[in-house]
Chains A and B, each alone.
Chain A
Amino acid sequence: MTDRDGQPGTSGIWTFVFIDMVVFLFLFVVYVSERLRLTDTFVEAQHHLSPAVGLLSTLALLTSSWCMAEAVHAARRTDMRRTGLALSAALLFGAVFAVNKIIEYGGKFEAGITPVTNGFYTFYFLITGLHFLHVLGGMVFMIHCRRQLAHESGDPAYVTKLENVGLFWHFVDVLWLFIFPMLYLTEILG
């Protein structure tokens, strides 16, 4: 059930996303305070991150978010074929992000870089790791929606469920929009 006429999703998901935003804001505050304290360490370590890898992640997540928005619009029109296609595409691009991240982590571990290598990498693994858990969580919800599509199509509760998943997925995207320049782009200026 939608809590309010026209409001996408339920009040619960809007609350959850906001609280999660506040948690990440705290993380960013601590990151910035440490960056100011250990500027040279951070800048030096950031040189080992590839902006191209970060860019690919960003493009994948933005595209996935767009597909998710299309899925929600199609579900509202009860165009279930298009909903299914858009959801599958959103999942595919989410998977591209996930695989890219796993390869990136693998490269770091192979190079002997771990969360305790230095202050920057503690944050790198913590922030991207927490974000990655959000991505995996979002993908699990999307898989659930994709599987339920045949059984629940046309049900208004399904549309609300999809809107909730979509809101969460777009929030994951918004987080990455700040994580990307913060970790991957500021090194260029070092």
Chain B
Amino acid sequence: MTGWLRSPFRVWLALILLTCLSVLGAEKIEGRAIVLGSIFVIAALKAELVIDHFMEARRAERYWLIMYLIWVVAVTCLLTIGHMPHMWT
């Protein structure tokens, strides 16, 4: 998978597909908890792709990659947990 994503075009293609998936999922799939959780996880996956492949964070000092990914995880958890009460109503 990582090899396939070596070209920026393929990364872009994956990003577009994931974006369409989250919009379609939000509109078509029943079950709020699954959808809400999924759209933020998809956002996190997309952010990881951009940080890893477009920003090339792996080529920077290691702590930048770690801190940026911690930020992605923190924002994903925050937004998912923040919308939790909404999921079950």
Contact = CB atoms under 8 A, between A and B. Distances in A.
Q: Would A and B touch once assembled, by the CB under 8 A criterion?
A: yes
Interface of A: 4, 6-9, 11, 14, 17-18, 21-22, 25, 28-29, 31-33, 35-36, 39, 43, 51, 55, 58-59, 62-63, 65-66, 68-70, 73, 166-167, 170-171, 173-174, 177-178, 180-182, 185-186, 188-190
Nearest to A3: B61
B8 A66 contact: yes
A141 to B, nearest CB: 15
Interface of B: 8-9, 11-12, 15-16, 19, 22-23, 26-27, 32, 35-36, 39-40, 42-43, 46-47, 50-51, 53-56, 59-61, 64, 67-68, 71-72, 74-76, 78-79, 81-83, 85-87
B26 A189 contact: yes
B79 A174 contact: no
21 contacts: A6-B59, A7-B59, A7-B61, A21-B71, A22-B71, A28-B78, A28-B79, A32-B83, A35-B83, A36-B82, A39-B86, A62-B16, A62-B19, A65-B12, A69-B11, A69-B53, A166-B54, A178-B43, A178-B79, A186-B39, A189-B87
Nearest to B39: A181
B59 to A, nearest CB: 5
Interface majority SS on B: helix, strand, loop or mixed? Answer: helix
A8 B47 CA distance: 18
A31 B79 CA distance: 9
What are the nearest 3 A-B pairs in CB distance?
A: A32-B82, A66-B12, A69-B8
A36 B36 contact: no
A178 B47 contact: yes
Contacts of A21: 68, 71
A142 to B, nearest CB: 15
